[in-house]
Structure 1
Amino acid sequence: MGISPLNCGWGICVFLSLCLISFTPPCDGGNILVYPVDGSHWINMKVLIEELHARGHNITVIRASTSLYIKEKSPLYKSITIELDKKVEPFFIQYLQKHIKAQVEGASAFTFFKITLGFVSAFSQLHLLMCDYLAQTLDDPTMVKSLRDSQFDLVLTDPAIAPGVILAKYLELPLVFNVRWITGGEGHFAIAPSPLSYIPVPRSGLTDKMNFIERVRNVFFYSIALLQQRLIGPHYDAICEKYIEGGCDIISLLQEADIWLFRSDFVFDFPRPTMPNIVYIGGFQCKPAQPLPVELEDFVQGAGEHGVIIMTLGTLVYDLPKEVSDAIASVFAKMPQKVIWRYKGKRPSTLGNNTLLVDWMPQKDLLGHPLTKVFVAHGGTNGVQEAIYYGVPVLGIPLFFDQYDNLLRLQQRGAGKILHLSEISQCFEQSLMEVLHQDSYRQNMQRLSDLHRDQPVAPMDQAVFWVEYVMRHKGAAHLRTEAYKMPWYSYYCLDVVLLLLAAVTLLLLSTVTMFRFLCYRCLRKPKAKQH
């Protein structure tokens, strides 16, 4: 029986209609100004830039001449290089070395407190340096004219270091964040309701289930975050005062951003209140694993059924104290598994033949390899989210920043285990064997992976859609709350409470006065008549 031309034509129409419905509204190639943060933050930003470039958008990146990660020449973007005479990386390296040494030696809480205070002070100087960097740009009439003449559609920036936020205000452009951190801590605390009774403050080491003492601790860490913002905020406020008509403050500028592309999701993070202009893109950098280089694939296949363990402690940690690296290497040497370890330090004396030291590894492709059994990692956001995506359990060795909090979220869900640096010599082998051989770790991580992947729209597609949405509509002001314009006493309705208390007090006083007056009239005896 043949198919009629009418039915065939109708089927083609239906097919084309479905195709049109499935596509998002078109957006001509936009003109995007990117103000990134160097280091691991740039790794995230570059992934997003690659996708925006692939979709036909023109990208311009502002970079420092001292940048180690953001290259001046790239097929993805044009660059604007600002000359700087200071490098940022030594500042981090010095702090990390002190912090790692204190952890290995099991230093006292007071020692860690002093190191933290020194870090906060040095971090304040870093922000000051970045403000000088921005002032250098804004004081250059040729540069400013070039930026204005380029007719950018929006500014895409990472607000952990915030010159890009002020630049967007100065150029009067819509603003999109690729964000998890802001100048004073985690981004949610600046824009969304964040009750300290169940929202753990970063670096507090707490979950969303807190007893009274833990809530006290949470408030203490929140106070530290406020202190950090008090130290950093004035640097940006001074720039606002000089270059922005009417002045401004950095927190208000952060709250004015159109879209927050937030590098987290609620598979990884604890549930919490949020806002309409926060778009969760956790794991947006993840994609199906690609084949490994031939030599690396041969090494992995040599592990057979035992599989492979991979280890890295991030981009900033090149080596470890000798006693720690030797202890790790000696445990690896006993294992039947093959080990791939990203390590640039001196070769450990106890290194076994089953362990391959590399300067760099294709981390995502290794995590996605079916023979990878365990990921030994420091707990950076990128690595944790990639482990979730590929379903690989984690033995975490947190070193600094948010790493303990990230790993705590995995441990809380039974998908990872935390091992402190001071415990390496005594507990590394036992902890590794536990994560390797207890099926619950892999099962729990696989469950997280299934939850993460079960989304109607992929995180990267969401990120690109909302960037293009802001370009199409010249901003997204209708998604922003106006709460940030309210004084604090109005935000918490203290003025309303005071008014109600005053009204109730006045009513009570009036009632008491009336009651006393009536009692006085009733109890007063009339005078006897004189005859």
Structure 2
Amino acid sequence: MELILRDLHSRGHSLTVVRSAKSWYIPESSALYTSVTVTAPDAPGGDVGRDFYAELMRRSLKLHQMPPLWRFVEQQKDVAAMLRMFHGAALRLISTVLEDSSLMAALKESGFDLLLTDPAFPAGVLLAQYLRLPLVYNVRWLNAAEAHMAVAPSPPSYVPMYNSLFSDEMSFLQRTENFLRYAAGMLQENLVVLPLYEDLLQRHFPPGADLLSMQRSADVWLMRVDYVFEFPRPTVPNIVYIGGFQCKGALPLPAELEAFMQSSGDQGVVVMSLGTLVSALPREMTESIAAAFAQLPQKVVWRYLGSRPSSLGNNTLLLDWLPQNDLLGHPKTCAFVAHGGTNGLYEAIYHGVPVLGVPLLFDQFDNVLRLQVRGAARAVEATSLTADNFLEALKDILEKPSYRQNMQGLSQLHRDQPMSPMDTAIFWIEHVIRNKGAAHLRSASVDLPWYTYHSLDVAVLLLAVGGASFWASVSACRLLCCRRPGTKLKVEYR
């Protein structure tokens, strides 16, 4: 979101950011925006800390060792628990905002033109509805599923669901599992997410207000998707695709890091980063990765937090932070070892760097699969990772030209657009401001009940008419064709 704010600020827009006092990444003071800091009450069991994601990673790896049916059941239980936790935090935040009469009066008087939010957790959605502001999403997820499912047709016959690890070409059994995941997502939304907000809606909104309708009413959905990465699927006019909007050309590296890159000679450099949520891998996994790196002729730059692995080779540089985009855009970089977060994978696509994926959490497994299907990546299962199989997979990425060729093909497709994804995002935000909304782009489907959307009422009518016609035809046949002949008397004469 910060990158969009920077671009809006450079174009002269005045920005106000409503943030939680507990935010990890959104600073209270910034040259880009004025902040409104909200202190929401703590969760009953305490708020989520950074160790929470390390525990989630351990749980995720354990799930992937389970048989498929048991894993599916356990995944749904875990998803329900996480939805309650994160939506509970969103509910406490927006409740605090709406119940602060002086804050709400100040926000109303400010005369905002638009509200921009990521609607995965709907605090921003509810605030926009209360203030009656045009609404733009920076979005990929909504409630319990991928955001397309809220407004665009999403047939589970070829649209893979979250955590399915399927492509868009599925066998019969895969389509069966995919349908069950589709149904589970709908149940999670209706039984876990929506009920959490019912009391808030009754207190602060007109009778009959429902969260799902509010979420679907956004003017423009800036979807963090590009179809060089995502599988093709149906869409609607107010979904605008900005996948890779954060990508940009590489900047020069600091002198010491540039010297390290140049010291790799013709062999090149492998870059490894597993994101910001998980600070450290299990010790045995770290030692296996370090031992594999030590056997490479390439140099390695590894974003790493924790105690130094004992098997670390002289070719590996450990950094607690690295300029990832600038490293991926460096001519010496020949492979990217990543956990499969979308930001990192889009940067790899932009710069044409093949990926060795070590997915750990959430959608990372699906993300790596999408590149693997396109021949631009390979995945290593973290639960069975050893120095030998990690080294074999990494050498495969480095030595087989097809991985780099396929990724460079994706890079060319990703860049071959009439406008950059960022310029597209800014255009549509300003379009909504200029026109005070974009109701002309909204599909009527968002206002239909589910049974009308799927034409179930029409199907019931047609079945009823067909059934009645069949019954009438059968009854007529019985009356006209199947009557018993009249009784004849036989008279005998003697």
Under TM normalisation by the shorter chain, which class is it? over 0.9
Q: Is the 8 A contact 2:242 2:424 kept in 1?
A: yes
Instruction: Mark the runs of 5 or more structure 2 residues left unpaired by the alignment.
Output: none
Match of 2:57 in 1: 99
Alpha-carbon contact 2:60-2:361 (below 8 Å) kept: no
What corresponds to 1:195 in structure 2?
155
Residue from 33, 48, 52 that aligns with 1:90: 48
How is 1:378-417 mapped onto 2 (pairs within 5 angstroms)? 378-417=339-378
1:448 to 410, 414, 426: 410
CA distance in 1, matches of 2:485, 2:372: 75
Q: 1:61 aligned to 2:23?
A: no
Q: 1:102–1:112: 8 Å Cα contact kept in structure 2?
A: no
Q: Give 3-state SS (helix, strand or coil) of 1:268's partner.
A: coil
Give the whole-Å Cα distance in 2 for the aligned partners of 1:124 and 1:100: 20
Which residue of 122, 125, 134 maps to 1:174?
A: 134
Structure 2 residue matching 1:305: 3-state secondary structure: coil
What secondary structure does 1:352 align onto?
coil
- Does the CA contact (< 8 Å) of 1:319 and 1:346 recur in 2? no
Contact map agreement 1:63 1:80 (CA 8 A) in 2: yes
Q: Which amino acid aligns with 2:52?
A: Q
> Is the CA contact (8 Å cut-off) linking 2:63 and 2:75 kept in structure 1?
no
Aligned length: 484
Structure 1 segment 469-480 matched on structure 2, within 5 A: 469-480=431-442
- Contact 1:308/1:372 (<8 A) preserved: yes
Once the two structures are TM-superposed, the CA of residue 502 in structure 1 deviates from its matched residue by 2.1
Unaligned runs of 5+ in 1: 1-44
Residue type of the alignment partner of 1:171? L
Distance 1:509 1:424, change over 3 A: closer
* 2:395 aligned partner: 433
Q: How far is the alpha carbon of 1:228 from its aligned partner?
A: 2.6
- Cα deviation, residue 520, structure 1: 6.2
Offset at residue 238 of structure 1 (A):
2.5
Q: Is the 8 A contact 1:99 1:112 kept in 2?
A: no
Instruction: Return the offset for 1:445.
Output: 0.3
2:267 to 290, 306, 318: 306
1:296 aligns with 2:257: yes
- Summarize the Cα distance change of 1:522–1:316 in structure 2 as closer, same or farther, 3 Å threshold: closer
Q: Distance in 1 between matches of 2:451 and 2:66?
A: 40
**Inter-partner Cα distance in structure 1 for 2:363 and 2:82:** 18
3-state SS in 2 of match to 1:63: strand
- Partners of 2:335 and 2:354 within 8 A in 1: yes
Q: What amino acid does structure 2 have at the position aligned with 1:515?
A: C
Partner of 2:66: 108
Question: What pairs with 1:219-234 in structure 2 (closer than 5 Å)?
Answer: 219-229=179-189, 230-234=191-195
Q: Matches of 1:363 and 1:228 in 2, distance apart? A: 36
Structure 1 counterpart SS, 2:385: helix
Matches within 5 A, 1:45-444: 45-84=1-40, 86=42, 90-91=48-49, 93-100=51-58, 103=61, 107-109=65-67, 110=70, 114=74, 117-118=77-78, 120-229=80-189, 230-425=191-386, 426-444=388-406
Task: Provide the aligned C-alpha RMSD in A.
Answer: 2.2
Asked whether the 8 Å contact 1:50–1:76 carries over to 2, the reply is yes
Which residue of 2 is the match for residue 42 of structure 1? none
SS at match of 2:119: coil
Greater CA drift, 505-514 or 58-67: 505-514
Aligned partners of 2:86, 2:192: CA distance in 1, in Å? 12
Name the SS of the counterpart of 1:80 in structure 2: strand
Indicate how the Cα distance of structure 1 residues 106 and 130 shifts in structure 2: closer, same or farther if over 3 A, else same. Answer: closer
Deviation at 1:328, TM superposition (A): 0.7
Compute the displacement of 1:457 (Å). 1.3
- Of stretches 324-333 and 112-121 in structure 1, the one that deviates more from structure 2 is 112-121
AA aligned opposite 1:74: S
Asked if the contact 1:66/1:85 (under 8 Å) is kept, the reply is no
Query: The residue matched to 1:373 in structure 2 has which SS?
Result: strand
